[in-house]
């Protein structure tokens, strides 16, 4: 597999995860205390109080980490174009000026279906914002592997720089770790230079132990990011699940030296959600995991609430959400 470099912010280059053969001893006997994970997660939004200019700074950072997403059955080229315009200017210029930002904000990426990739690439040309595409039979992942790999190659050929794949959940539920590893490794190879985000669809995996083990297998197979959910499951991103994945990410890094990214997605809608997940990353992994090359938030409606909170900070007034449209 590849062992290339990916550039972090400020010239802090990361060595890209090269993948490795399946190593069961790294996770086979892992145990997860669900009650303890839930207690730890419950403290994240209560132990730390972030107010005023500090809160505004955290919310600005959250904007830079958003994968602005549209994954609707009625997506059109026009809708994608409007979303990309919002990605270029996620916060109104007058609010940015009052915040004293020297450079214009932009989001981490725009995420769309493969058929919409050409429209997003065209709309984002020159912005430096990557296009992320879901693939591999999103959201169920139940199409034949040959077709899933072809879908990845199509999206990459059309200009996607990031591919959000979905795993075959049955392999986790049956503990068939070799099959899961081999499929993700094949997807990683199909991505080429495009980064692979492995969506675990954690709401379908039944236990936090399964979540931990699937996270480890995905990283062993070469995933650049691990991601909670498609947004289509009955249960999507939760803090206990995210804590479990982040602990797996930390354990993998300690054993291999690779820094792997994390992306919660599904059900994150408010500025408070953004703060809670940023606090999780800061407390569990440190400041480095608040940058968009290691942390993304899969969301759309969240951005409107963040912009509304930032307007309140600079004006002292809350505007209606309709004053902060997505496009």
**Residue 263 is among the residues annotated as catalytic for this protein:** yes
What pLDDT score was predicted for residue 225? 98
Which residue in 86, 197, 213, 227 is the catalytic one?
Answer: 227
Which tens digit of pLDDT belongs to each residue from 206-236? 999 999 999 999 999 999 999 999 999 999 9
CA dist., res. 276 & res. 322, Å (int): 25
pLDDT attached to residue 317: 81
- Predicted local confidence at residue 6, as pLDDT: 53
* Secondary element (H or E) of residue 252: helix 239-256
Cα–Cα distance for residue pair 16/26, rounded to 1 Å: 20
Amino acid 320: pLDDT: 66
Give the residues of the chain that fall short of pLDDT 50. 1-3, 5, 7-11
Whole-structure pTM value:
0.93
Nearest CA-CA partner of 51 in 326, 317, 323, 312 = 312
Q: Which residues lie closer than 8 Å to 81 by C-beta, 6 or more apart? A: 119, 123
- pLDDT score recorded for residue 52: 84
Q: What is the pLDDT of residue 326?
A: 55
**Contact between residue 252 and residue 213 where contact means Cβ atoms under 8 Å apart:** no
Cα dist. 47→25, 201, 231, 279, 287 in Å?
A: 35, 29, 28, 10, 17
Instruction: Tell me the per-residue pLDDT of 156-180, one tens digit each, with 9 for 90 and over.
Output: 999 999 999 999 999 999 999 999 9
Domains, the chain, with CATH or none: 33-317 (3.20.20.70)
- Annotated catalytic residue 272: no
Count of positions (residues) in the chain: 327
Radius of gyration of the chain measured on its C-alpha atoms: 19
Choosing from 67, 86, 164, 213, the catalytic residue is 164
Between CA 153 and CA 117 the distance in angstroms is: 12
Candidate list 67, 259, 263, 273, residue with the active-site label? 263
- 4 given a catalytic annotation: no
Q: Which residues have CB under 8 Å from 43's CB, separation 6+?
A: none
In order, the DSSP letters of 24-75 are: GGGTTT----HHHHHHHHHHHHHH----HHHHHHHHHHHHHTEEEE---TT-
Q: What is the pLDDT of residue 141?
A: 97
């Amino acid at each position: 597999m590849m062992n290339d470099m990916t550039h972090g912010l400020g010239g802090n280059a990361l060595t890209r995860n090269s993948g490795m053969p399946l190593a069961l001893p790294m996770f086979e006997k892992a145990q997860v205390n669900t009650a303890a994970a839930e207690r730890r997660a419950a403290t994240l939004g209560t132990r730390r109080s972030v107010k005023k200019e500090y809160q505004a700074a955290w919310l600005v950072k959250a904007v830079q980490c958003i994968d602005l997403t549209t994954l609707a059955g009625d997506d059109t080229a026009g809708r994608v174009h409007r979303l990309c315009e919002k990605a270029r200017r996620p916060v109104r210029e007058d609010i940015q000026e009052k915040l004293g930002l020297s450079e214009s904000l932009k989001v981490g990426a725009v995420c769309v279906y493969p058929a919409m990739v050409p429209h997003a690439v065209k709309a984002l040309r020159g912005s430096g914002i990557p296009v992320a595409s879901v693939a591999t039979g999103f959201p169920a992942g139940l199409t034949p592997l040959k077709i899933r790999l072809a879908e990845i190659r199509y999206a990459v050929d059309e200009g996607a720089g990031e591919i959000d794949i979905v795993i075959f959940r049955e392999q986790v539920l049956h503990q068939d770790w070799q099959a899961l590893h081999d499929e993700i490794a094949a997807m990683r190879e199909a991505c080429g230079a495009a980064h692979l985000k492995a969506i675990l669809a954690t709401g379908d995996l039944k236990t936090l132990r399964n979540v931990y083990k699937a996270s480890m297998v995905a990283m062993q197979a070469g995933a650049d990011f691990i991601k909670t959910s498609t947004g289509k499951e009955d249960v999507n991103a939760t803090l206990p699940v995210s804590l479990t994945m982040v602990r797996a990410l930390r354990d993998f890094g300690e054993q291999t030296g690779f820094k792997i990214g994390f992306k919660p997605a599904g059900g994150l809608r408010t500025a408070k959600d953004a703060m809670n997940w940023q606090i999780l990353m800061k407390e569990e992994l440190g400041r480095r995991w608040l940058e968009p090359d290691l942390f993304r938030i899969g969301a759309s409606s969240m951005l409107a609430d963040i912009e509304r909170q930032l307007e309140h900070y600079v004006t002292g007034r809350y505007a209606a959400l309709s004053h902060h449209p997505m496009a």
